């Protein structure tokens, strides 16, 4: 009986120890669950904060995109206004030039040219007789028509176009017509040669010859078969240089 009582007591102690261990494990698990719950709550708070910052950044990005779109729209509008202003200034400049030419005796009636030699955006002034020093001093025997590289150069009247490449003019073309011939220099490359009609592309604006490294342009000369009795006097005081006369008043009629 004593032995049975001892066995029962040992078994009871073992059961109690096991129960105590299980309770300890349960407490540990409850503690871990509490820690995990707190960590999860902290993570949820961080996620909420990140969501708020993301939404804030997204709003800022959307606002910046609207500003960019608005700037692009205003830039396009401004470019259009600038183009209109450039065109207006160009027309006003031509009008002033024609007025000054009229005061100096602009030829009346149709001129020798049917087309402006440069078919594209361009600018020119009366530089006939301006001093030039490439190859030795000489007065400028034509007008320079400034334009972007590759702008088409056309025959101003019906005639025969031929190459006349040389050191000063670089790639050059002469077009001989019924009333005389024109000389175009500093071409980037040639176009149609031989028999040409008015408006035929004979070359393209460049800066070959002594114009290399400078602004691209068409050096344009007019050599009439018959020099007018009272040729136009340029702003540099010249009326005739060699067989050339100032093409400026005639260019104003077509350009």
Q: Is 35 exposed, middle or buried (0-12, 13-18, 19+ CB in 10 A)?
A: exposed
Q: Is the pLDDT of residue 246 over 70?
A: yes
Q: Is the pLDDT of residue 103 over 60?
A: no
Tell me which DSSP letter residue 239 carries: S
Q: Is the pLDDT of residue 5 over 70?
A: no
> For 52-100, what is each residue's pLDDT tens digit?
777 778 877 777 787 777 777 777 776 676 766 666 665 665 565 555 5
- The verdict on domain 122-254 having CATH code 1.20.120.1200 is no
Highest mean pLDDT among 2-11, 13-22, 211-220: 211-220
Task: Determine how β-strand 240-241 pairs with β-strand 217-224.
Answer: unpaired
Q: Is 70 exposed, middle or buried (0-12, 13-18, 19+ CB in 10 A)?
A: exposed
Q: What is the mean pLDDT of the chain?
A: 84
pLDDT, residue 129, reads: 97
> For 148-168, what is each residue's pLDDT tens digit?
999 999 999 999 999 999 999
What average pLDDT does the segment 170-185 reach? Answer: 98
The two most distant CA atoms of the chain are separated, in Å, by 159
Q: Is 191 exposed, middle or buried (0-12, 13-18, 19+ CB in 10 A)?
A: middle
Q: Where are the domains of the chain?
A: 1-103, 122-254
Q: How confident is the model at residue 50 (pLDDT cuts 50, 70, 90)?
A: confident
What average pLDDT does the segment 232-255 reach? Answer: 93
Handedness of CA 102, 104, 107, 111 (dihedral sign): negative
Write out the H or E segment, with its range, that includes residue 129.
none
> For 110-135, what is each residue's pLDDT tens digit?
789 999 999 999 999 999 999 999 88
> For 182-220, what is each residue's pLDDT tens digit?
999 999 999 999 999 999 999 999 999 999 999 999 999
Tell me which DSSP letter residue 72 carries: H
pLDDT, residue 36, reads: 79
Measure the CA angle with vertex 93, ends 87 and 94; round to 5°.
Answer: 90
């Amino acid at each position: 009986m004593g032995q049975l009582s001892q066995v029962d007591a040992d078994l009871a102690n073992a059961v109690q120890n096991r129960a105590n261990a299980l309770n300890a494990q349960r407490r540990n698990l409850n503690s871990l669950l509490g820690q995990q719950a707190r960590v999860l709550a902290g993570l949820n708070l961080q996620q909420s904060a990140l969501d708020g910052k993301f939404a804030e950044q997204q709003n800022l990005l959307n606002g910046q995109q609207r500003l960019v779109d608005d700037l692009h729209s205003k830039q396009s509008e401004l470019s259009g206004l600038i183009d209109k202003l450039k065109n207006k200034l160009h027309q006003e400049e031509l009008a002033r030039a024609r007025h000054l030419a009229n005061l100096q005796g602009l030829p009346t009636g149709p001129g020798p040219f049917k087309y402006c030699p440069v078919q594209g955006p361009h600018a020119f002034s009366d530089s006939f007789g301006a001093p030039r020093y490439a190859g030795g001093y000489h007065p400028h025997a034509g007008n320079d028509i400034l334009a972007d590289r590759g702008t088409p150069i056309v025959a101003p009247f019906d005639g025969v176009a031929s190459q006349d490449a040389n050191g000063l003019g670089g790639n050059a073309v002469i077009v001989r017509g019924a009333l005389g011939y024109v000389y175009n220099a500093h071409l980037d490359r040639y176009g149609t040669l031989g028999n040409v009609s008015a408006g035929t592309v004979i070359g393209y604006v460049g800066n070959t010859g002594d114009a290399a490294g400078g602004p691209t342009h068409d050096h344009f000369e007019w050599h009439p078969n018959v020099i007018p009795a009272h040729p136009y006097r340029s702003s540099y005081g010249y009326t005739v240089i060699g067989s050339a006369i100032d093409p400026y008043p005639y260019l104003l009629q077509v350009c």
